[in-house]
Structure 1
Amino acid sequence: MVEAAASDDLDARRAALDAFTRQYTAPCVSWLRANGCGADQAEETTQNFLVEVVINRQLLSNARRVSGPLRALVLRALRNHATDLARRRSARDRHEAAAAAQQAAESESEHSYQPDLGFDADWARAQLEEAIARGCSRALALGKHSAWRAFELRVLHPAVHGRLEPEYDEVAREAGLIDAARAHVLVREMRMLVLSALDEVVSETAREPAEVEAEIAYIRECLGAMGR
């Protein structure tokens, strides 16, 4: 994503922006809501952030020159942008969310990163959702409809709805597979497909293999803390 954003290829830059929007809009909105913004204000501020900072100031292109994970750069930029918006508004338009964002931004140095568990948790979930979407698309493109259905039944639905995982006999029956053994093999295959997609998603913003491993480990930590 970061490299594509700096590409001379217009389609590559558009794809990078689309990927960024999918993966970071929800975390940005959630962070603003957690800091006091109403729903409409959070959406408006996020859209303004995407236009002014991500597009006009080329946040993704500049990320290549900044050390650390992209999520840290995005959160710092969002905090600073919220502060800037607050300063631009008249006193009657300022509200507690903008004041809180201003105080948070001014309390940290320009290049420091203070982890925000809410932002990071939403970021982790967005990374996983992107990986699942890519895995699903690839599975269906390969004609593996029954395999993906089995993965949904055994893994995704229980995770989303907080239910116990069904037995493989039940999975096989509902997915139209010959037996539990076949269902087990296909679920494992789809799990590996999603994990591969997650590695791909993270590698689009992390530079080195060690950074990719660290970010994936952090995603697991965040999702574990969320109980998801």
Structure 2
Amino acid sequence: MTLEILTSELLNSVHHGFFTRRGGASSGIFEGLNCGLGSSDQQEAVTLNRARVAEAMNVPAAALVGVHQIHSPDVAVITGPTADRPRADAMVTKTPGVALGILTADCQPVLFADPKAGVIGAAHAGWRGALDGILAATLDAMEDLGADRRNTYAVIGPSISKRAYEVGPEFHADFLQKDPDNSRFFAPGHEGRYQFDLPGLGLHLLRQAGVGRAEWTGHCTYSDEELFYSYRRTTHAGEADYGRLISCITL
């Protein structure tokens, strides 16, 4: 099956893609393009899937780089192809021919580009990483490489949407304790619970940090099982593990 890759006009000056699960070699609960090295999928299948992604990004397999994601505000600077996966949740580079690859399965994959400066970035932003500042930290690291956040575009890829993200009152209370204005990201749910708008939070934080333009592709990972993996959907189904989507950008 052919790979199905989502793109954004905001980033059309650089090669990028939010890869769906279609077109991969994995089977069973991982069926499709599972790119998660940390999953319990057959490693041969994951390696083949990642090779297909690298080919689609027009880079060698060794030039598809990633990080060991830990829900942190830490950013790695990538200077060339490497097999190392530093503990971080974002990457930035000004090196052509390197593809930055972020893995997600409900959290936000965010791709950044300042086409004038020739600097790109990629971030993994769940609610914790977003609140702790990973998006602003990515813009800071890009500016350290010569970018200007006012000329930088950021696109949030497929993520869990508000209609699918139900949280408890404790989660809601913690957010409001941090900032009462965070109430804008919640809507009343069932039996005292709330629906949480993770992409809305991401867009707000990007704009608050001064990014030039930002958008969400509008795709919900939980709601479309044919296209996307979802940690929360897997949990609700009682499955043992889940696949990871990859989102990539390269100069």
TM-score range, shorter chain: under 0.3
**Taking structure 1 as the reference length, what is the TM-score of the superposition?**
0.28
Structure possessing the higher relative contact order (Cα contacts under 8 Å, 6 or more residues apart): 2
- Bigger radius of gyration among the two: 1
**Taking structure 2 as the reference length, what is the TM-score of the superposition?**
0.26
Which structure's residues are more often helix, by fraction? 1
